[in-house]
């Protein structure tokens, strides 16, 4: 009982665009939504026209022998103050992000 | 109406590779926050993941031990979700070609019933970081030390009907993984975590009810409680004419309740796609065979064999084989000294109680079979009496197996005493020092006999042969009785 794994082509309508926007954390205006429906629709059509047939085995022939993958060796991690500098906000120990996430509510 | 609970599990187990799944940072538990991090595991742009092949070896072993088919060409896929515990905003996981599929394992519940649990699949993925929420709820402090630590996720079919079966499976899984040396499976440290998918249906029904998924359960006890709570909750909803909503619920162990997670994140759409930064990998027959050859005899099978071959009582065999390290120690020691009964005596009495008292991890016991055999040999040959041996054995364990046995015995005067005159002298001394029990004995209260034997043994530090002490006490007390009359 394998999971349904076939990729499906979706019709690009208003709902698809709004869903994609939601997943991308984007807020679109009415104009932008309309524009996206048209433009993404065209893109999807081009991709749909490619009709590349069965791709389920694609890549297998290019598979790399796993023996060529990395050896399990520990190397020094980055210095903490350097790695923390990559974030817009941090303390001496932690990266910081806005905590606007729902942590679960009432039953 | 009677209801049946139907449960499936998703179990995450951290694998004990030294370095992370896609970078060379250490996987060591703990450490200062963000001290086990690099640009790869903190998701910096321009970095690329590099696959650690040890993780594959561990996953293949786990897959084989769970009776799975190993996927010859496996790939990684990107699971997109937006949450600060994941700096890349996606997790590298496996969806389309997981490393192992279609397995099964047997569990045994307390009443001895054996049941087969089917494994849907097992895949590799990277762990996420830790979030600490600020008290005002405005800031998330992020520690990415665990981020990128390799995990396998084992997905079972919905074959469980109660918490006991679930825990039997998790115990079995833990034992197998520890025997394979691929994980320490410590629930309290989060290296083994279970998500419980649960639904209820009228007994006899073939259709599945709507299920909920409970996350965040991190002990065997919590699993029992969470299952009891959630099935009762669902039955109540159904009986009151309501419908179960398919949702993720967070188990809160402190309040003993599960809560619906209202987050939009729960509108699950992970937009999986093949990971473009990693190639597909191919496993050869040789590599699979090599893993197969490394699969040991597991705890339950081993316990059965010990019962059969060495006539061990079942409980002892179960205790001994609970840890692979201890079971190896036991069997190797017996092989060297050829005295299974003596080794068992020190094992169950001495070693296991030492572990219980000190809370040591059985896997960390460093005593070598050679040393253990040397000790057992001293007792078998009579150089050391069991009573005196207790002190020696304890010191041996406390020294992590480093103790010089003969030196310790000599320095503490614990060698066996076969000096009949010294025993007799000690008996007379003990009698002289305890006039009251002696009086009792003379008045026919023979039960105090044991008291004298015990005292004499203690005076002699357990070094004397108990039979010799017994007969000496009997003789001297008897003689004195005659004289008295
Ligand atoms: Zn790293």
Interchain pair B132, A71: CB under 8 A: no
Interchain pair A107, B140: CB under 8 A: no
- Per the structure, the count of domains in chain B is 3
User: Residues of A with CB below 8 A from B96's CB?
Assistant: 5
Contact predicate B20/B149, CB 8 Å: yes
Minimum distance, in Å, between the CA of residue A102 and any CA atom of chain B: 5
Check whether residue B369 and residue B466 sit in a common domain: no
Find the B71 Cα to ligand 1 centroid distance in Å.
27
A105 touches chain B (CB under 8 A): yes
Final residue belonging to a domain, choices B289, B317, B345: B289
Beta partners for B202?
A: B3
Check whether residue B258 and residue B339 sit in a common domain: no
Interchain pair B39, A104: CB under 8 A: no
pLDDT over 70 for what percent of chain B? Answer: 97
Interchain pair A98, B25: CB under 8 A: no
The predicted pLDDT at position A52 comes to 64
Query: Does a structural domain hold residue B393?
Result: yes
CB pairs under 8 A, 24+ apart, for B316-320?
B316/B344, B316/B347, B316/B348, B319/B348, B319/B352, B320/B344, B320/B347, B320/B348
- In this prediction, residues A10-37 reach a mean pLDDT of 86
The predicted pLDDT at position A61 comes to 61
More confidently predicted of B133 and A49: B133
Tens-digit pLDDT profile for residues B165-181? 999 999 999 999 999 99
Tens-digit pLDDT profile for residues B393-422? 999 999 998 999 989 988 888 877 777 778
The predicted pLDDT at position B267 comes to 53
Tell me which residues of chain B, numbers 5 to 44, contact chain A at a CB-CB cutoff of 8 Å: 17-19, 24-26, 32-39, 42, 44
State the sign of the Cα–Cα–Cα–Cα dihedral B85, B89, B92, B94.
Answer: positive
Check whether residue B48 and residue B143 sit in a common domain: yes
Minimum distance, in Å, between the CA of residue B351 and any CA atom of chain A: 34
Check whether residue B386 and residue B258 sit in a common domain: no
User: Residues of B with CB below 8 A from A103's CB?
Assistant: 133, 250
Domain segments of chain A as ranges = 1-51
Query: Does a structural domain hold residue B294?
Result: no
**Which of A22, A77, A105 is closest, CB to CB, to B25?**
A77
Check whether residue B443 and residue B402 sit in a common domain: no
B144 touches chain A (CB under 8 A): yes
| CA–CA distance, B397 with B366 (Å, rounded to integer) | 9
CB pairs under 8 A, 24+ apart, for A21-28?
A22/B264, A22/B267, A23/B80, A23/B269, A23/B271, A25/B82
The predicted pLDDT at position A7 comes to 44
Final residue belonging to a domain, choices B289, B314, B334: B289
Tens-digit pLDDT profile for residues B291-328? 999 999 999 999 999 999 988 888 889 889 989 999 99
A73 touches chain B (CB under 8 A): yes
pLDDT over 90 for what percent of chain B? Answer: 61
The predicted pLDDT at position B82 comes to 81
Minimum distance, in Å, between the CA of residue A46 and any CA atom of chain B: 19
| CA–CA distance, B169 with B320 (Å, rounded to integer) | 20
Residue B456 has pLDDT above 90, yes or no: no
Tell me which residues of chain A, numbers 7 to 26, contact chain B at a CB-CB cutoff of 8 Å: 19, 22-23, 25
Interchain pair A62, B280: CB under 8 A: yes
A60 touches chain B (CB under 8 A): yes
Which band of pLDDT confidence, cut at 50, 70 and 90, is reported for residue B231?
A: very high
Pairing of strands B73-74, B281-282: antiparallel
Final residue belonging to a domain, choices B227, B260, B289: B289
Minimum distance, in Å, between the CA of residue A33 and any CA atom of chain B: 20
Mean pLDDT score of chain B: 90
B259 touches chain A (CB under 8 A): yes
Quickly count: other Cβ atoms within 10 Å of residue B453's Cβ: 18
Residue A102 has pLDDT above 60, yes or no: no
A82 touches chain B (CB under 8 A): no
Query: Does a structural domain hold residue B453?
Result: yes
User: Residues of B with CB below 8 A from A23's CB?
Assistant: 80, 269, 271
Q: Return the CATH class of domain A1-51.
A: mainly alpha
Which band of pLDDT confidence, cut at 50, 70 and 90, is reported for residue B469?
A: confident
Contact predicate B247/B187, CB 8 Å: no
Interchain pair B280, A22: CB under 8 A: no
- In this prediction, residues B39-52 reach a mean pLDDT of 95
Check whether residue B384 and residue B469 sit in a common domain: no
Check whether residue B59 and residue B162 sit in a common domain: yes
Check whether residue B354 and residue B400 sit in a common domain: yes
Residue among B61, B272, B116, B123 nearest A8 (CA): B272
Tens-digit pLDDT profile for residues B332-350? 999 999 888 899 999 988 9
Contact predicate B7/B158, CB 8 Å: yes
Interchain pair A73, B138: CB under 8 A: no
Query: Burial level of B30, CB count in 10 A (0-12/13-18/19+)?
Result: exposed
Check whether residue B387 and residue B456 sit in a common domain: no
Q: Check residue B203 and give left, alpha or beta (phi > 0: left; psi -120 to 50: alpha).
A: beta
Q: Check residue B401 and give left, alpha or beta (phi > 0: left; psi -120 to 50: alpha).
A: left
CATH label of the domain that carries residue B478: 1.10.10.410
B258 touches chain A (CB under 8 A): yes
User: What ipTM goes with this model?
Assistant: 0.75
Query: Does a structural domain hold residue B119?
Result: yes
Check whether residue B277 and residue B304 sit in a common domain: no
Quickly count: other Cβ atoms within 10 Å of residue B161's Cβ: 13
Q: Which residue range(s) make up the domain with B99?
A: 3-289
């Amino acid at each position: 009982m394998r999971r349904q794994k076939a990729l499906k082509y979706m019709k690009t309508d208003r709902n698809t665009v709004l869903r994609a926007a939601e997943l991308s954390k984007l807020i679109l205006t009415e104009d932008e939504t309309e524009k996206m429906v048209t433009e993404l629709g065209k893109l999807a059509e081009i991709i749909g026209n490619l009709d590349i047939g069965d791709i389920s085995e694609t890549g297998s022939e290019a598979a790399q022998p796993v023996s060529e993958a990395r050896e399990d060796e520990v190397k020094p991690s980055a210095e903490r103050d350097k790695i923390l500098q990559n974030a817009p906000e941090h303390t001496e120990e932690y990266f910081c992000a806005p905590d606007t996430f729902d942590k679960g509510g009432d039953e | 109406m009677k209801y049946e609970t139907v449960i499936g599990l998703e179990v995450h187990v951290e694998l004990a590779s030294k370095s992370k799944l896609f970078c060379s940072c250490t996987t060591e538990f703990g450490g200062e926050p963000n001290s086990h991090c690099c640009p790869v595991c903190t998701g910096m742009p321009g970095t690329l993941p590099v696959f650690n092949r040890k993780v594959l070896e561990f996953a293949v072993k786990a897959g084989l031990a769970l009776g799975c088919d190993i996927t010859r060409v496996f790939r990684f896929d990107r699971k997109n979700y937006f949450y600060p515990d994941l700096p890349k905003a996606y997790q590298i996981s496996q969806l389309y070609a997981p490393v192992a599929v279609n397995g099964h394992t047997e569990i045994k519940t307390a009443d001895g019933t054996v049941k087969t649990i089917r494994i849907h699949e097992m895949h590799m993925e990277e762990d996420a970081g830790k979030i600490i929420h600020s008290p005002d709820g405005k800031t998330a402090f992020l520690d990415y030390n665990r981020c990128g630590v390799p995990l396998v996720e084992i997905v079972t079919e919905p074959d469980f009907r109660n918490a006991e079966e679930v825990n039997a499976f998790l115990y079995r899984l833990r034992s197998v993984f520890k025997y394979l040396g691929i994980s320490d499976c410590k629930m309290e440290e989060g290296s083994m975590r279970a998500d419980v998918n649960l639904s209820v249906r009228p007994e006899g029904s073939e259709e599945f009810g709507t299920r909920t998924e409970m996350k965040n359960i991190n002990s065997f006890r919590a699993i029992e409680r969470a299952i009891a709570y959630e099935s009762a909750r669902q039955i109540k909803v159904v009986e009151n004419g309501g419908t179960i909503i398919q949702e993720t619920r967070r188990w809160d162990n402190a309040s003993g309740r599960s809560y619906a997670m209202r987050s939009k994140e729960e509108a699950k759409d992970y937009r999986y796609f093949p990971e473009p930064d990693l190639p597909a990998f191919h496993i050869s027959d040789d590599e699979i065979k090599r893993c197969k050859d490394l699969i040991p005899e597991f705890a339950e099978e081993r316990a059965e064999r010990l019962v059969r071959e060495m006539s061990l009582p079942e409980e002892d065999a179960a205790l001994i084989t609970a840890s692979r390290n201890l079971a190896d120690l036991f069997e190797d020691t017996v092989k060297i000294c050829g005295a299974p009964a003596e080794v068992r005596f020190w094992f169950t009495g001495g070693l296991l109680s030492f572990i219980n008292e000190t809370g040591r991890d059985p896997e960390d016991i460093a005593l070598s079979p050679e040393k253990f055999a040397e000790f057992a040999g001293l007792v078998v040959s009579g150089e050391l009496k069991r009573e005196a041996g207790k002190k020696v054995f304890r010191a041996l364990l406390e020294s992590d197996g480093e103790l010089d046995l003969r030196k310790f015995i000599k320095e503490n005067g614990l060698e066996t005493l076969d000096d009949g005159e010294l025993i007799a002298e000690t008996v007379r001394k003990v009698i002289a020092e305890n006039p009251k029990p002696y009086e009792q004995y003379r008045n026919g209260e023979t039960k105090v006999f044991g008291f004298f034997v015990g005292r004499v043994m203690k005076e002699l530090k357990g070094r004397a042969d108990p039979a010799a002490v017994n007969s000496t006490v009997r003789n001297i007390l008897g003689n004195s009785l005659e004289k008295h009359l």
